[in-house]
Amino acid sequence: MKLSALVVVHNEEARLAQCLDKLGFADELVVVLDKCTDGSREIALRFTDEAHLVEGSWDLEGPRRNTGIAACAGEWILEVDADEHVPPALAEEVRRVIETTDADYHEILVDNYIGDRLVRWGWGASFGKAAYPGLFRKGAKSWGMQRVHPSLAWTGRGGAKAVKGAMLANRLDHFVDRDISDMIRRLDRYATLRAADLRASGDVGSLGNNLRRLFSRFFKCYVRRKGYREGGWGLLIALCAGLFPLLAYLKATLEEG
């Protein structure tokens, strides 16, 4: 089975090389450069060739990722971001799984780092991921038309519903935030993009519903996903997860698009 590694980037010169350096186990490396004005292109060319660079400008996250998927030639695709590293054990497992599985996609567990600290508990509710469906057969996965956290549609071989395989045992390293300030900036960025999606949909929701989600999402991350085990870091994650939909709603209703 031929494996394509796909990385979609926007101005990631500070960390792109470390990501791409971990993907040499794939049969091809496809890099999508979205409105890059820094040295990301030159860095990508150290690891792949011109034929495997896709350059363009996208306003929506879903279409730019779908463009990258379409550019991949492999039967299987491993999708990672520039702030993510594939350790050797995961690389070996991916190669083994694609040769033996009957499924159309597999989820990958994620170890999230804030700075140098591993923060394993409490992620979710649209603010960080504990796992994601990053290994899939070409044609099985399609992203939706949103700016942030686009929806996913799955189609199996022959047009049937895609078959989900077992979760991979080894973990991806995700360097999600550098520090607390970086976390807060990410919350603001996500809320701004989500607000634009809400305005475009014509349904921004209600204040009451988003106030309720503040508490339900906090509970989900801090209690159900055991964020309390991370001390103050878990509290911060739960607060950001709870605030995200409320901030997006307020931006959508109080600010001009």
CATH number (domain holding residue 118): 3.90.550.10
Domain coverage including residue 142: 3-175
Q: What is the DSSP letter of 122?
A: S
Give residue 82's identity as a one-letter amino acid code: A
Question: Do 14 and 38 lie in a common domain?
Answer: yes
Question: Do 71 and 198 lie in a common domain?
Answer: no
Question: Do 138 and 59 lie in a common domain?
Answer: yes
Among 175, 192, 212, identify where a domain stops: 175
**Given a cut of 90, is residue 237 above it in pLDDT?**
yes
Helix (H) or strand (E) holding 128: none
Question: Do 49 and 164 lie in a common domain?
Answer: yes
Question: Do 100 and 198 lie in a common domain?
Answer: no
Question: Do 154 and 202 lie in a common domain?
Answer: no
- Does the predicted TM-score (pTM) go above 0.85? yes
Question: Do 169 and 132 lie in a common domain?
Answer: yes
Domain count of the chain?
Answer: 2
**List of residues 6+ apart from 53 with CB closer than 8 A:** 30, 31, 33, 41, 44, 45
Question: Do 156 and 193 lie in a common domain?
Answer: no
Of 243, 90, 119, 245, the C-alpha closest to 178 is 119
Tens-digit pLDDT profile for residues 100-122 = 999 999 999 999 999 999 999 99
Of 151, 167, 153, the C-alpha closest to 107 is 167
State the alpha helices, DSSP H only, in the chain.
Answer: 16-21, 40-44, 61-71, 88-100, 180-201, 207-219, 232-254
Residues pairing with 84 in the sheet: 174
Residue 159, pLDDT score:
82
* Mean of the per-residue pLDDT values of the chain: 96
**Given a cut of 90, is residue 158 above it in pLDDT?**
no
Among 107, 140, 175, identify where a domain stops: 175
Question: Do 39 and 66 lie in a common domain?
Answer: yes
Work out whether strand 28-34 and strand 53-56 pair parallel, antiparallel, or are unpaired.
Answer: parallel
Integer Cα distance of 45 and 116 in angstroms: 28
Tens-digit pLDDT profile for residues 26-70 = 999 999 999 999 999 999 999 999 999 999 999 999 999 999 999
Give residue 174's identity as a one-letter amino acid code: H
